[in-house]
Amino acid sequence: MKKEILHIEYPLNNASIPILWKSIGTPLGLSEWFADGVTVEGDEYTFIWDDSEQTAKLLQLKVNNFIRFQWTDNAGTEDYFEIKITKESITNELTLVVTDTVYKNEKEDTILLWNKQIDELRRKTGI
């Protein structure tokens, strides 16, 4: 079964780009809301939750804009997940756009998981 690309937008009207970037673009920031801990060795990020861990390769990064990873389990595929900051040109409002690749039957669960994670980001950063 082929995966599809999922885009989820989260308006963050009270946020600033530097605060958002620190939260999504640094291991310390990611360990505050995305995982219990994050270690980095080269372009390999290990995300730790309770008694489990998962490693992802950093595919792309543009400071103050986006970060894209691929779980090592998905190596050799087109699967990835990305967290991107966008700014509305007219209103200057910020939106966090999450892109993930999912199986159709896992779409709802993936959305719920990202909603939970972004709620935690909002709680930790006050945005």
Confidence of residue 1 (pLDDT cuts 50, 70, 90): confident
Confidence of residue 13 (pLDDT cuts 50, 70, 90): confident
For Cα atoms 8, 75, 77, give the angle at the middle one, nearest 5 degrees.
Answer: 65
pLDDT tens sequence across 16-28: 899 999 999 999 9
Q: What is the pTM of this model?
A: 0.92
Once rounded to an integer, what is the mean pLDDT over residues 106-123? 96
Q: Which residues contact 4 (CB under 8 A, 6 or more apart)?
A: 101, 102, 103, 104, 107
Q: Is 103 in a helix, a strand, or coil?
A: coil
The rounded distance, in Å, linking the Cα atoms of 8 and 76 is 25
Domains of the chain, first to last? 4-25+60-125 (3.30.530.20)
Could you tell me how many helices (H) and strands (E) the chain has, helices first?
3, 7
> Sign (positive/negative) of CA torsion 58, 62, 63, 66?
negative
